[in-house]
Structure 1
Amino acid sequence: MKKAAAAGVAVALSLAAAGCGSGSGSDKSVVTLWMYPVISDQAKNLAFWGKVEKDFEARNPAIDVKIDQQPWEGRQEKVTTALVSKKGFDLVVLVPDQLPQYAQQGTIEAVDDVVAPDKAAYMPNALTALTVDGKLYGVPIYQTITAPIYNKKLFAEAGVDKVPQTLAELKEAAPKLAAKKVAVLDYPGKPEISLNQSFYPILWANGGSVFAADGKSVAFNGPEGVASLQLLLDLKAVGGLPENTASKGNDIEGGALASGKTAMYHAATALQADQLGAAIGAENVGIGLPLEGSKRVAFGIAGGLVLARHSENKDAAKKFAAYVASPQVAAELAKESGFFPARTDVTVPGQTESSKEFAKSLQYAFPGDTHPKARQVMGVLAPHIQAALLGKEDAKTALDAAAKEADQLLGSGG
């Protein structure tokens, strides 16, 4: 099939009206994939997926693939609408916290059979992350990971010979750096920043969780949660957090870490490591394993190809999903996106040294506490953490107040 790379959005609009897998006027099976800019460079993104489409169709002439480039903005609403109206796509890229609600609604199809032939080659935590109630709902095509990045020079100048590898060591190093007017932790307390890249990694490291095991209530106000927030308050008290920590974001460029006012960010991406290197010199950037409390946990999500239950060409869609997840395509996707393969049998061409360091944390990847209301609960909790950082609430009071609101939300059924 010939198609200009930039025509994806137009195709998306036409298919939204016509539905997917029908009305093509040919004997071919039409498979529509809603793809998002996991490759941030637009030209590279279009070129990559254009080649994937062309190569797959050359191997499978009876299948007509349409890859529609969609924006991140409004993704949840658009996907939900498409699934409810039963039109728009056959396959869509989703992440773990989006799956439970669609699985409960019965609008997506299990895809265990797609990965079955190569199941041993997939990263176990990627498969687990995309599984709901024992069924796999996403074919993993990439894996993200976060890890600590730090300014080696600042630690050395403060006389800290060993960069913190545990939460206890982080607390111990704080006064030494504060004496040099440097905050040890570049903590982003702005409520708009995902707690997956601020508070939750500390909670998980301390053995805590966001939700109770039955999912009917929250657990973040338990002893582990209180200890985690108290750690932040203790750091703040000794100058271990930026003065504006309650309202700061996690931008590296133009931020405190790049200007030498903070020494470490505990939940950074590989791209942020590169940005820090550009600001302070790559030779001064260190990349560590997740900070350890009672265990090591790194926030990282698997992106999976999810099959709409309403698809009229499920076999063709599954065949295409398997192709995108194959080692050769996964390797090139990792190269172009900067993310990581969700398989262990993939060698990424030209992988940078910083990416190799981040890859060491993949074994600790955790997608967060998946729950249909996970994002809503995050929105309830974040302002209370901010209030504690502002000195308006103590750790226990802040988390108990947030838990009361969150439990009402979980019990509302809405």
Structure 2
Amino acid sequence: MKRKLIAAIGVAGMLVSIAACGSDSDKDSSKKAGADSFKGQTLTVWAMDGSTPPNWTKDLTAAFQKKTGATLKFQTQKWDGIQQKITTALSESTPPDVIEVGNTQTPAYAATGGLADLGDLKKEIGADWSESLNASSVYDGKQYAAPWYFANRVVLYNKKVWADAGITGTPKTRAEFFADLDKIKAKGKAEPLYMPGQNWYFFDGLSIGQGADLVKKEGDKYVSNLSDPKVSAAMELYKKYASYSKAPKDKDEATPQQAEVFAKGNVGAFIGMGWEAGTAITANKKIEKDIGYFTIPGETAEKPEGVFLGGSNFAVAAGSKKQDLAKEFLKLALSDQFEGALSKESGVVPNKTSLNSNLSASPAGVAAAAGAVSGGTTPLIPEWAPVENAPNPIKSYMTAVLNGKSPAEAAKAVEAEINKRLSQKN
């Protein structure tokens, strides 16, 4: 099979387009699943560092061999430079058969023609995949990947600070959350909320909650939609959250690490990933007993706040000569047994709500799963990635609003740069 690198595409400014794969017959296309049906074959799976916990990997490998007679070969990849590495691999005649791809990166890979259409797999095993989690696996109306696991932001709070302010229980609505922060502020002993000015993915979640789109289509191209009133409403909400914080208006949550600030014990709460509790505990072991979690509340108790869903999908390389075997792997890996086991072992959100019970031992996971139903992503278009490259113009927009500009004024100042990035030639 001949494949050709043809152009650059914007995933972190590095992806390269590849020509669509031809229709060569797969060596295993006539085989049916069953013991020894693929005996002697080896399926290569690229998985990212940290994605495949040991017990899950061991049990899945054994089950795969028992079902198919084939050997399963996991190859662990590093995140650094992975976009270019995957793009190059997809352009070759012998790519890895199955690849873990970031959910927001999936459309860019799909646009190149490097991923196989998994529409038949979706019909067979994906009827109850959560719609919000499956959205990133679909490009141009076709299923080019399968949702694997996800994570999203929750509220991590200091139980002692809340108790000292006379707060019992956790808020179920946004108004209740603000009321609790007001109580901490009135007590005067702790910073109610640590919220840096450029926590961009939290802002994206607020935009999702407002039903806002960060881009819009004009003719045959995408342009900024930052001046939309719904985006402005999300930014005004962010500004209200930030009013409870002394954090820098021109820094993100990693500068300084917000979990390390929280670890000092004089902050009521922060909004972050569940694993950030580990960062706080490393900085101050004593804080461990005081950490609690709850879902970011929305306007009503019935619907949590919108959140950015980060995670990974599984995709099959269009150039793989083991399409049927790859699908047998996906049927196993994404089955209730192994999807549930992954959630239980790693604390990640599974691809269907019926499996959320596997998170019962993870308070952070329970809080995240409840919020995932209101989740979404950044715009699922190949053109989006350059927008987030440093310096991210949306972060500049956020800081400008927090420093006194109206959302409309701040949007006007950065939209030309956003449009320039969206129009980068692929």
| Same fold flag (TM > 0.5) | yes
Question: Aligned runs of 1:5-404 on 2, under 5 Å?
Answer: 28-39=40-51, 45-46=53-54, 48-61=56-69, 63-158=70-165, 165-167=172-174, 176-179=183-186, 180=188, 182-189=190-197, 195-196=200-201, 198-212=202-216, 216-233=222-239, 236=242, 238=243, 240-250=244-254, 255-266=260-271, 268-273=272-277, 279-282=286-289, 285-292=292-299, 296-346=305-355, 347-348=357-358, 351-379=361-389, 380-385=392-397, 387-388=399-400, 391=403, 394-404=406-416
Q: Would you say the 8 A contact 2:42–2:72 is kept in 1?
A: yes
Deviates more, 1:249-258 or 1:211-220: 249-258
Q: Would you say the 8 A contact 1:245–1:389 is kept in 2?
A: no
For residues 171-209 of structure 1, the C-alpha deviation after alignment (integer angstroms, 9 at most, x for no partner) is 56655544516443322445xx6x22x321222223322
Q: Would you say the 8 A contact 1:183–1:242 is kept in 2?
A: yes
Q: Residues 333 and 254 of structure 1: is their aligned pair in 2 closer, same or farther, counting only changes over 3 Å? A: closer
Q: Would you say the 8 A contact 2:132–2:375 is kept in 1?
A: yes
TM-score by length of structure 2 reads: 0.77
For residues 322-356 of structure 1, the C-alpha deviation after alignment (integer angstroms, 9 at most, x for no partner) is 11111111122112222122134435286334433
- Quote the offset at 1:93 in angstroms: 0.8
1:407 aligns with 2:419: yes
Partner of 2:260, secondary structure, is coil
- Quote the offset at 1:91 in angstroms: 0.8
Higher helix share: 1
Distance 2:129 2:144 in 1: 14
TM-score by length of structure 1 reads: 0.79
Deviates more, 1:400-409 or 1:198-207: 198-207
Distance 2:344 2:78 in 1: 21
Q: Residues 156 and 92 of structure 1: is their aligned pair in 2 closer, same or farther, counting only changes over 3 Å? A: same
Q: Would you say the 8 A contact 2:137–2:143 is kept in 1?
A: yes
Q: Residues 407 and 64 of structure 1: is their aligned pair in 2 closer, same or farther, counting only changes over 3 Å? A: same
Distance 2:214 2:413 in 1: 14
- The amino acid that maps onto 1:202 is L
- The amino acid that maps onto 1:59 is K
For residues 123-178 of structure 1, the C-alpha deviation after alignment (integer angstroms, 9 at most, x for no partner) is 23222331112211112222323222223443454466785555555556655544
For residues 25-82 of structure 1, the C-alpha deviation after alignment (integer angstroms, 9 at most, x for no partner) is x97333211011244xxxx835542442233112211x33221111111111111111
Distance 2:235 2:88 in 1: 38
For residues 200-223 of structure 1, the C-alpha deviation after alignment (integer angstroms, 9 at most, x for no partner) is 122222332211256611212222
Deviates more, 1:365-374 or 1:307-316: 365-374
- Quote the offset at 1:226 in angstroms: 2.6
Partner of 2:126, secondary structure, is helix
Q: Would you say the 8 A contact 2:294–2:367 is kept in 1?
A: yes
Q: Residues 269 and 116 of structure 1: is their aligned pair in 2 closer, same or farther, counting only changes over 3 Å? A: same
Partner of 1:361, secondary structure, is helix
Q: Residues 279 and 128 of structure 1: is their aligned pair in 2 closer, same or farther, counting only changes over 3 Å? A: farther
- The amino acid that maps onto 1:369 is P
Q: Residues 98 and 113 of structure 1: is their aligned pair in 2 closer, same or farther, counting only changes over 3 Å? A: same
Task: Tell me the percent identity.
Answer: 21
Residue of structure 2 equivalent to 1:17: none
Q: Could you say what the CA RMSD is over the residues aligned between the two structures, in angstroms? A: 3.3
Q: Would you say the 8 A contact 1:32–1:91 is kept in 2?
A: yes
Q: Would you say the 8 A contact 2:53–2:342 is kept in 1?
A: no
Distance 2:172 2:397 in 1: 24
Partner of 1:412, secondary structure, is coil
Structure 2 unaligned segments of length 5 or more: list them. 1-25, 28-37
Q: Residues 233 and 348 of structure 1: is their aligned pair in 2 closer, same or farther, counting only changes over 3 Å? A: closer
Partner of 1:199, secondary structure, is helix
Distance 2:48 2:131 in 1: 24
Partner of 1:32, secondary structure, is strand
